[in-house]
Amino acid sequence: METKQTMFDHAKLYLPEGPVDDGWMLVDENGRIAAAGANGEARPEDTTIVTVDCGGRGLLPGLIDVHVHGGGGYDVLGESFEHLDGMSRFHAAHGTTTFLATTSTTNHETILRVLDSVSSMMGELGGADLAGIHLEGPFIDAVRRGAQSLEHIQPPSVDKMKAYLEASRNSIRIVSMAPEREGGLELVSFLAGRGITVSAGHTNATLEQMKAAVSAGVRHTTHHFNGMSPLHHREPGAAGAGMVLPELTTELICDGIHVHPEVVKLLFAVKGPASVCMITDAVFCAGLPDGEYGSVTLKEGQVLLSDGTSLAGSGLTTLAALRNAVKFTGLPLERILPSITSVPARQAGLSDRKGSLSAGKDADFLVVDEDLELLATYVRGKPVYQRQ
């Protein structure tokens, strides 16, 4: 059957240069954006183009989550197509069009198996696009481990990292680690030299150690303020470093639980949206009813280790994070959008094909109403979720 171009017409388009109240977007037969613009200006006219009237609804660039462990009862560590496809579909139904499957600190053999399994399924899922892997751990600091396994923490190792890269078929795009540990700067330099984004995460680094890490190639922080040395007026720590060092882009779990709404507002004010990367850090029980799930408890959106000692990921989704950020900061939607579209695309090395409604990029987008409620999710021009 012949595939035709599709014109999404009469939409409020959120383009890189700003919103267009009555716009159109043409998606080609390969699922890429061919062109976009405002009605009343020159536009393609072709009798073979299929037209979809959006009725003034919003078309947002697809939301990108570079730090997500699971959701909807599915888990990256599940080591199966069912788990990855399930979380892909769950998050597509909540605004995500692209994600990095994120690991956690566990034993070396399990990490190798998970990396092999995940990388073999890229391009095969039915929901959000799996674009690579975020390796969180095992090269972290024990003091700042949070819910990560103490037993399986390892010192930074270039040799082990080479094994992980091989198992992942070189699909690792972000590595979270504690750069201040012995061997850490060597590993940072190795990863940065390969074009992989290195993130300071689960780290107890001082400001001076963070400066050394940035010099070696660290460009990102993992779930900022969480799992890191805190800001103190006599020792800014990793939290302070993320705020004052311009080279660093700061991840943000914008659920109002991990970071207070006023601190969310402060981070956006200090860093600017171009240096804030919103994530979910969602775990397998995200989207499920409150209750006990193995070693964690989900209650009112908060995920805790069952012993109550630490937050253990979140129950957040990307579209909820976007709505929260608008509410917490008071900034207009178009100012916040880059922090969950073009910024994560940049940090994951995906800017050539993801992150904005720009000609030549994948036609990944959301259709939303005036309250930012999701009506449909498209990945490469195909609907992967439509509200009934």
Catalytic residues: 281
**DSSP state string for 147-166:** TS-STT-----HHHHHHHHH
Q: DSSP 3-state assignment of 229? A: coil
32 annotated to bind ligand: no
Total residues found in the chain within this entry: 388
The distance in angstroms from the start CA to the end CA of the chain is: 27
Rounded Cα distance, 227 and 239, in Å? 9
Name residue, tokens 């805190």.
Answer: 230
39 annotated to bind ligand: no
Q: Is the Cβ–Cβ distance between 129 and 92 less than 8 Å?
A: no
226 annotated to bind ligand: yes
Q: DSSP 3-state assignment of 147? A: coil
Name residue, tokens 């819910």.
Answer: 147
152 annotated to bind ligand: no
Q: Which two tokens stand for residue 146?
A: 């949070």
Query: Strand runs (DSSP E) across 166-301, as ranges?
Result: 172-177, 197-200, 218-221, 249-253, 276-279, 291-293, 296-299
Rounded Cα distance, 163 and 149, in Å? 20
223 annotated to bind ligand: yes
311 annotated to bind ligand: yes
Name residue, tokens 């990095």.
Answer: 100
Q: Is the Cβ–Cβ distance between 133 and 173 less than 8 Å?
A: yes
227 annotated to bind ligand: yes
Q: Is the Cβ–Cβ distance between 65 and 130 less than 8 Å?
A: no
**How many other β-carbons are positioned within 10 Å of the β-carbon of residue 158?**
13
- 302-305 and 63-68 strand pairing: unpaired
Rounded Cα distance, 173 and 134, in Å? 6
Angle, CA of 211, 242 and 213, to the nearest 5°:
25
59 annotated to bind ligand: no
* Residues making up the binding site: 136, 147, 202, 223, 226-227, 234, 258, 311-313
* Residues making up the binding site for substrate: 147, 226-227, 234, 258, 311-313
* Residues making up the binding site for Zn(2+): 136, 202, 223
